Amino acid sequence: MIVANYLTAAALFCFGLYTVLTRRNLIKMVMGLSLIESSSYLLLISMAYRRGSTPPVLLNPPHGQTVTGLAKGNVADPVLQNFCLTAIVIGVAVTAVFLSVAVRVSQHYRSLDSDRMREMKG
Amino acid sequence: MLAPLAARLSKHLAFVSCIATTGGGLAILVILAPTVFSGRELTHFLGHWAPFSGQELGDTFGADPFGLAFALAVAAIGLLLLIFSLSSLLDLGRRELGAYACLSQLLIAALIGSGLTADLVNLFVWFEVAALASYGLTGFFLERPLALEAAFKILVLTNLASFAVFIGAAIIYSDHGALNFGQIEQALHGHTRDADLVALGILLAGFATKAGVIPFHGWLADAHTAAPGPVSALFSGLMVNLGVVAIVRLSLQIFDSHTADPVLGLLTVLGAISAVVGAVLALAQDDLKRVLAYDTISQMGVLLVGFATHEAAGISGATYHLLNHAIFKSLLFLCAGAIVHATGLDKLSEMGGLARRMPLIAAGFVVGAASIAGVPPLNGYVSLGLIHETLFSHDRAAYVAIVVAQIVTVAALARATYLAFFRRRTQRLPDLTPLHPGMITALVGLGAGCVGFGIFPYEVLRHIVEPAAGGLLASNAYAAGVLSAGAHLPIPAVNYAYFSARDFLTALGTLAAGLALAAWYVRVPEPRPITWLRALHTGSVNDYASYLTAGGIVTVAVLVIR
């Protein structure tokens, strides 16, 4: 059921956002952002889904089907899957930056509590 | 990109290669400029994947006058900022210099790309490139605890924003199968559904975070405080404009006529709140860079209000102000950075009497502040005059808000200028580090920009700003252009009288009122409402993320309910 996918994506997003808004531990915030990220992957893949569709691959068509038949037929949306790949790549890079900052924070403050880092305010 | 490698050979080689590539980019844009500003939109399909029966699959780049004006400003000011920062960083090690040059060039490239792209996902990619570069630059001096703190805040908030942009783009694509701006615009004609409005709300929230519009602004002041001066100039003068440019494209060129009213109303309200609250917060700061950062928030609000008028004169004024803001805010941040470089002071309460010791920096700062204040021969006078004039006949409530914001802005900058440069100083200053020639070049160049844009208003209007406004208003022509091999955009004629009595009196009035407010403010203890406002900025990244989320929900709700 594709609706279940959407509901799961929404639930993941809400968990992630709740974590970012309420947890003070930096690592937990990064985990929350990762949850939001994974919810977006699930959402995109589900949006690309068509009932009974074939993968958007035109090379080596399965037995009894031709390339033009595949291209004109029912294909899952390759653009959204492509988005998803892009997002995964960017997500990895951003998480790496995040964690490197978290490591420096823990070295400097000897703590991962974001409430300790509130020197700039007002 | 090769700067870190070049820096391994020699610091000067890295410097030269960096300046040469940015200068080369600027030269290419300048060569394009006469064609584009004569009202011709240039389109390039990446990999020559031209549209097929109105459907475009590949990335599209479309140079319309508005985008090109932004790209030119980024390239020219970015070049000056690179000259400034690299010459002041020559004392640092090779690795630092190379990394810094690489990150700033990445940011400049991303901003130019975002100005010229005509594809929603490509815009997201440029957004993300700019975001990654900005994380690196904010946390560049990672040994400073402030930089760590600011880097974490900008990471969390910008990351949420980039999800918003991403999801918004995906919803629009799955609804219409279109990513090319022109194709989306044509698909939306008469078929705007609630899902599109949700997507628009999410996209606006994401880009408003980049633009630092209240309530999405939590990262901005902190990132500016912690970063070195030229980086703040890069962020404030150039990077925040990415958000504004994207918002303007979305609300004027893509979601045009049929949904315009609620979107423009929303932008006016957000802009007016940002303008006033940002200015008030700027008045209350003790850190010089925070004064300027909150003023950026205020100026972004003014820009949004100007663009949301949807009138040729208002949009011209806002475009003009966008360019002006890039020039004078970079100048002010470079001055602030030069003060830190020379004296090591960053608090207004510790400064004072700097005018005698640093006359060039004092002159630069005064020119920048006077430009924002709209003192007649300088550039702010023209753009603010156009915005005020349009609002006066168009939307009185917004007019009042913008004039109040202007008065408080004048007061905030006058207070900062007085406290830093002209107050009598009691203790001796520490020994000053002299300025490098590169730093002086950049300061003089930006100061000349402030004066030049102020004394040749008709040339700037006719050759840059009016074509830009025309492209923004003619959304159909723009859409057709990015779906074919370019188009002719109409150029509206904007009536502007330099010596109109009302402009002149408004400028004088806001100046006098602002100076009076500043004179009063430096004598009294902090008023209670300002203390409350500042207490809302708790410094906790969780709170800032909550403001952002709440702002996003309200934005979507307003658009869907109408």
Asked if pLDDT for residue B407 goes beyond 80, the answer is yes
Tell if the CB–CB gap between B152 and A44 is shorter than 8 Å: no
A15 assigned to some structural domain: yes
Tell if the CB–CB gap between A120 and B539 is shorter than 8 Å: yes
Pick the more confident residue, B261 or B336.
Answer: B336
Q: Which DSSP category does B45 fall into? A: E
**Band (B208; pLDDT cuts 50, 70, 90):** very high
A105 assigned to some structural domain: yes
Handedness of CA B150, B152, B158, B160 (dihedral sign): negative
| Residue B15, pLDDT score | 79
Q: What is the CB neighbour count within 10 angstroms for residue B447?
A: 24
Number of domains in chain A: 1
Residue B235 to residues A6, B232, B338: CA-CA distances in angstroms?
A: 37, 5, 16
CA distance B82 to chain A (A): 24
Give pLDDT tens digits for A72-86: 777 788 888 888 898
Pick the more confident residue, B465 or B48.
Answer: B465
Name which of B249-258, B284-293, B296-305 the model is least confident about: B249-258
Residue A101's nearest CA partner among B471, B281, B134, B246 is: B134
Scanning the structure block, which residue is given the tokens 């390339």?
A: A67
CA distance B390 to chain A (A): 34
Pick the more confident residue, A117 or B222.
Answer: B222
Asked if pLDDT for residue B323 goes beyond 90, the answer is yes
| Residue B271, pLDDT score | 94
Tell if the CB–CB gap between A20 and B542 is shorter than 8 Å: yes
Mutation choice for A interface testing from B134, B144, B155 by most A CBs within 10 A = B155
- Distance, in Å, from the CA atom of B300 to the CA atom of B244, rounded to the nearest integer, reads 7
Tell if the CB–CB gap between B128 and A90 is shorter than 8 Å: yes
B117 DSSP β-pair partners: B61
List the single residue in B with minimal CA-CA distance to A29: B156
Q: Which residues of A touch B156 (CB under 8 A)?
A: 20, 29, 33
Q: Which residues of B347-370 are buried (b: 16+ CB within 10 A; e: fewer)?
A: ebeebbbbbeebeebbbbbbbbbb
| Residue B248, pLDDT score | 93
Residue B488, SS3 per DSSP:
strand
Q: Which residues of A touch B125 (CB under 8 A)?
A: 86
Asked if pLDDT for residue A16 goes beyond 90, the answer is yes
Asked if pLDDT for residue B343 goes beyond 90, the answer is no
Tell if the CB–CB gap between A94 and B132 is shorter than 8 Å: yes
**Band (B256; pLDDT cuts 50, 70, 90):** confident
Mutation choice for A interface testing from B134, B541, B547 by most A CBs within 10 A = B541
Helix axes B379-394, B501-521, angle to 10 degrees: 110
- Distance, in Å, from the CA atom of A120 to the CA atom of B3, rounded to the nearest integer, reads 33
Tell if the CB–CB gap between B155 and A97 is shorter than 8 Å: yes
* Option in A22, A29, A104 nearest B148 (CB): A104
- Which tokens hold the place of A103? 């490591």
For residues B140-169, average pLDDT: 89
Q: Which percentage of chain A shows pLDDT scores above 90?
A: 38
Name which of B72-81, B207-216, B258-267, B275-284 the model is least confident about: B258-267
Phi, psi (degrees; rounded to nearest 5) at A106: -65, -35
- Distance, in Å, from the CA atom of B338 to the CA atom of B344, rounded to the nearest integer, reads 9
Asked if pLDDT for residue B259 goes beyond 70, the answer is no
Mutation choice for A interface testing from B123, B148, B219, B543 by most A CBs within 10 A = B148
Report how many Cβ contacts below 8 Å link chain A to chain B: 115
- State the DSSP string of A58-98: -SSPPTT--HHHHHHS-B--HHHHHHHHHHHHHHHHHHHHH
A86 assigned to some structural domain: yes
**Band (B257; pLDDT cuts 50, 70, 90):** low
**CATH number of the domain encompassing residue A12:** 1.10.287.3510
| Residue B190, pLDDT score | 74
| Residue A15, pLDDT score | 94
* Option in A37, A43, A121 nearest B537 (CB): A121
A20 assigned to some structural domain: yes
A43 assigned to some structural domain: yes
Total-model pTM? 0.93
Identify residue B228 by its one-letter amino acid code: P
Tell if the CB–CB gap between B167 and A43 is shorter than 8 Å: yes
**ipTM value for the complex:** 0.91
A68 assigned to some structural domain: no
Scanning the structure block, which residue is given the tokens 């400034």?
A: B84
For residues B293-302, average pLDDT: 94
For residues B262-287, average pLDDT: 92
Question: What range does the domain containing A81 cover?
Answer: 2-51+75-115
* Option in B170, B546, B549 nearest A80 (CB): B170
